[in-house]
């Protein structure tokens, strides 16, 4: 029974990954803002190298995992060749992963060696100046949380021979955070702080970009009633947010369990190399809802906006 279930889970994971391949992103550095190696789950990374012509040969591919509550750095090198594809579980076989989707594949993946962890991943091509050669997607199937999702890697469109893992073009800091009634959906977010990560990657160090989130002085209930008060939470590297993180105890009590809106405003923590945030929303439908949705979880990237630059008024004198 266990073997049959595992085969079914692997097939589902690979199927989602194949379905996602039509919309993969391209870049020399790709950001995958969420993976999990929870027991029983499979996160599947699919990469392709579209580089062709003389001298393409073996292309080193650098994996940089950032995992756990401390957002710990772990990295190693794999490889692809010209016009190559590679699909594999994020978790190593020893940590519960299935390994290579095609067992005879000669490409070299970099597995994550620990079970029951989550985090984000940066994958970079290392010896080409092309900004379109590396493509990829992530698919996740987690029976324990009901999560089935696939998404393309986020393209930085920059040459990694200059700066690897530079996502400083992402400047989203402000997000309208909405939640549904708690009896129906449990809402949370996973925030990845981004910027130019190249120095941390080169030094093998933990990424220290940090952003402080604020509720901007108000929390709204599901009938647009505002309750004032200020609450903040600072996230370094990556971390979770829930609605009560950005509400005072009085605001949370006033809004109750019917859901609401927080117009979150982010501020880069001074002295850190952050520029913005990639924010993934997770919505778990309570089992009591029943039907096809009960016990399922949905994940998507939230749309954000940069903080407007201050307007400088000319001296009218």
User: Which CATH number does the domain housing residue 30 bear?
Assistant: 2.60.290.11
**Res 23: pLDDT:** 38
Least trusted range by pLDDT, from 99-113, 126-140, 185-199, 216-230: 126-140
| Candidate from 7-21, 56-70, 123-137, 207-221 with smallest mean pLDDT | 7-21
Choose between 255 and 160: higher pLDDT: 255
Q: Which one, of 311, 300, 258, 9, lies nearest residue 150 by Cα?
A: 300
pLDDT of residue 1: 45
Torsion of CA 48, 51, 54, 59, to 10 degrees: -50
Element spanning 49, H or E: strand 42-49
> Does the residue 307 lie in any domain?
no
Q: What is the pLDDT of residue 316?
A: 47
Query: What is the gyration radius of the CA atoms in the chain, in angstroms?
Result: 21
Q: Report percent pLDDT > 70 for the chain.
A: 84
117 domain-assigned: yes
Do 179 and 280 belong together in one domain?
A: yes
Better-scored residue on pLDDT, 250 or 164: 250
Whether the per-residue pLDDT at 53 is higher than 60: the answer is no
Domain boundary among 91, 120, 155: 155
Kindly state the average pLDDT of the residues 180-189.
Answer: 97
Across the chain, mean pLDDT equals 88
Q: Would you state the pLDDT for residue 313?
A: 54
Same domain flag for 248 and 123: no
- Determine the pLDDT at residue 159: 76
Choose between 267 and 56: higher pLDDT. Answer: 267
Residue 306 lies in a domain: no
101 and 129 part of one domain: yes
The answer to whether residues 131 and 221 belong to one domain is no
Same domain, 12 and 119: yes
Pair 49, 81: CB distance under 8 Å: yes
Higher pLDDT, 259 or 133: 259
Instruction: Give me the pLDDT at residue 133, please.
Output: 78
Mean pLDDT of 160-165: 80
Q: Flag whether 315 is in a domain.
A: no
Instruction: State which residues form the domain around 211.
Output: 174-301
- The pLDDT tens digits of the residues spanning 232-247 come to 999 999 999 999 999 9
| Same domain? 20 vs 147 | yes
> Is 34 in the same domain as 139?
yes
The residues, any chain, with a CB within 8 Å of residue 38's CB and separated by 6 or more, are 115, 116, 118, 142, 144, 145
Same domain? 135 vs 201: no
Inform me whether the pLDDT recorded for 288 exceeds 90.
yes
Count: domains in the chain: 2
Give the pLDDT of residue 131. Answer: 67
Same domain (yes/no): 18, 126: yes
Report how far residue 53's alpha carbon sits from residue 57's, in angstroms, rounded to the nearest whole number. 9
Confidence of residue 198 (pLDDT cuts 50, 70, 90): very high
Q: 25 lies in a domain?
A: yes
Task: Kindly state whether residues 36 and 148 are assigned to the same domain.
Answer: yes
Would you state the pLDDT for residue 132? 66
Position 79 in a domain? yes
Residue 284 in domain: yes
Task: Give the model's pLDDT for residue 15.
Answer: 52
CA 144/CA 295 separation, integer angstroms: 9
Q: Which of 98, 123, 155 is the last residue of a domain?
A: 155
pLDDT at 59 over 70: yes
pLDDT value at 278 more than 90? yes
| Residues 6 or more apart whose Cβ sits within 8 Å of residue 315 | none
Assign 40 a pLDDT band (cuts: 50, 70, 90).
Answer: very high
- Residue 130's pLDDT is what? 65
- Say if residue 13 is in the same domain as residue 141: yes
pLDDT at position 18: 44
The pLDDT of residue 76 is above 50: yes
Q: Is residue 163 part of a domain?
A: no
- pLDDT score recorded for residue 26: 35
- Whether 114 and 180 share a structural domain: no
Asked if residues 80 and 59 have their Cβ atoms less than 8 Å apart, the reply is: yes
């Amino acid at each position: 029974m266990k073997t049959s279930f595992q085969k079914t889970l692997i097939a589902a994971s690979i199927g989602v990954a194949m379905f996602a391949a039509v919309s993969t992103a391209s870049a020399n550095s790709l950001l995958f803002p969420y993976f999990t190696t929870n027991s029983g789950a499979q996160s599947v990374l699919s990469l392709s190298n579209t580089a062709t012509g003389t001298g393409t040969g073996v292309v080193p591919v650098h994996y940089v995992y950032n995992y756990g509550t401390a957002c710990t750095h772990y990295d190693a090198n794999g490889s692809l060749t010209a016009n190559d594809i590679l699909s594999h579980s994020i978790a190593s076989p020893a940590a519960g992963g299935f390994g290579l989707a095609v067992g005879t594949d000669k490409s070299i993946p970099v597995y994550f060696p620990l079970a029951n962890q989550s985090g984000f991943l940066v994958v970079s091509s290392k010896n080409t100046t092309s900004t379109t050669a590396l493509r990829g997607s992530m698919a996740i199937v987690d029976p324990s949380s009901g999560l089935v999702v696939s998404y393309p890697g986020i393209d930085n469109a920059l040459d990694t021979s200059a700066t690897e893992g530079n996502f400083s073009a992402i400047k989203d800091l402000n997000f309208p955070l909405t939640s549904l009634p708690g009896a129906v959906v449990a809402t949370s977010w996973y925030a990845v702080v981004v910027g130019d990560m190249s120095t941390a990657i080169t030094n093998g160090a933990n990424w220290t970009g940090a952003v402080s989130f604020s509720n901007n002085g108000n929390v709204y209930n599901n009938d647009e009633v505002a309750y004032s008060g200020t609450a903040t939470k600072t996230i370094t590297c990556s971390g979770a947010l829930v609605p009560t993180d950005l509400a005072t105890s009085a605001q949370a009590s006033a809004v109750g369990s019917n859901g609401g809106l927080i117009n979150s405003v982010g501020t880069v923590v001074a002295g850190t190399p952050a520029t913005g945030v990639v924010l993934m929303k997770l919505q778990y439908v309570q089992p009591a809802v029943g039907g096809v949705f009960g016990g399922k979880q949905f994940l998507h990237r939230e749309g954000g906006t940069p903080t407007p630059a201050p307007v400088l008024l000319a001296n009218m004198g």
